[in-house]
Structure 1
Amino acid sequence: MSRADRAEGLGANWPQLAAYIREMAEEESEIHGDDGEAD
């Protein structure tokens, strides 16, 4: 698989991935009770 093909695949999955990451970050901040900044 070429680099371009891989980037295209990532682009297709990016919105889903971004939503997943945002969800994880929200859960993390709830668990730790922080203000959402990375530690």
Structure 2
Amino acid sequence: GHPSFVMSNSFTNQVLAQLELWNNSDAYSIGVHFLPK
């Protein structure tokens, strides 16, 4: 497996992406998008 630091970064990125999509869902149509950093 991956070191815990790598996994925590991966999970953090996923949560931040989910928060962005939840808080600004009207700004995103169905599809693939680059999210802000």
TM-score normalised per structure 1:
0.53
Higher fraction of helix:
1
**Residues 9-24 of structure 1: pairs in structure 2 closer than 5 A:** 12-24=3-15
- CA-based RMSD: 2.1
Query: Which consecutive residues of structure 2, in runs of 5 or more, have no partner in the other structure?
Result: 25-34
User: Relative contact order, CA 8 A, sep 6+: which one is greater?
Assistant: 2
**Paired residue for 1:25, among 8, 16, 25?**
16
TM-score normalised per structure 2:
0.56
